[in-house]
Amino acid sequence: MSIEAVAAQLSPYQLEVEAGRSYKWCRCGRSKSQPLCDNSHAGTGIEPLLFVADRTETVLLCGCKETGNAPFCDGTHNVL
């Protein structure tokens, strides 16, 4: 039995990232530390997405968990 991801919110999260630093984006939607993972996915079969920031900047990370460009928002929340 697989558990589905839930939309944490129907808009992106703005996050300041630092070049070279690793981040774990929550794919399950259950983390209390959105948009980052707090291990709330345990038992869901859904693992976070590890990514490394290319540069220091503000990024928009997906909140609906339906993006086609994970972990970044691609506007999919506008059609849900």
Instruction: Output the pLDDT for position 3.
Output: 86
**What does the pLDDT average to over 75-79?**
96
| Per-residue model confidence as pLDDT tens digits over 28-70 | 999 999 999 999 999 999 999 999 999 999 999 999 999 999 9
pLDDT band at 2 (very low <50, low <70, confident <90, very high): low
Residue 3 sits in which domain range?
1-80
Residue located via tokens 């849900």: 80
Q: Is the distance from CB of 47 to CB of 27 less than 8 angstroms? A: yes
Q: Which two tokens stand for residue 64?
A: 């609906």
How much is the pTM? Answer: 0.93
Instruction: Output the pLDDT for position 70.
Output: 98
Instruction: Output the pLDDT for position 18.
Output: 98
The per-type count for the chain, helices as H runs and strands as E runs, is 0, 4
If one counts the domains in the chain, the total is: 1
Q: Is the distance from CB of 25 to CB of 36 less than 8 angstroms? A: yes
Instruction: Output the pLDDT for position 1.
Output: 52
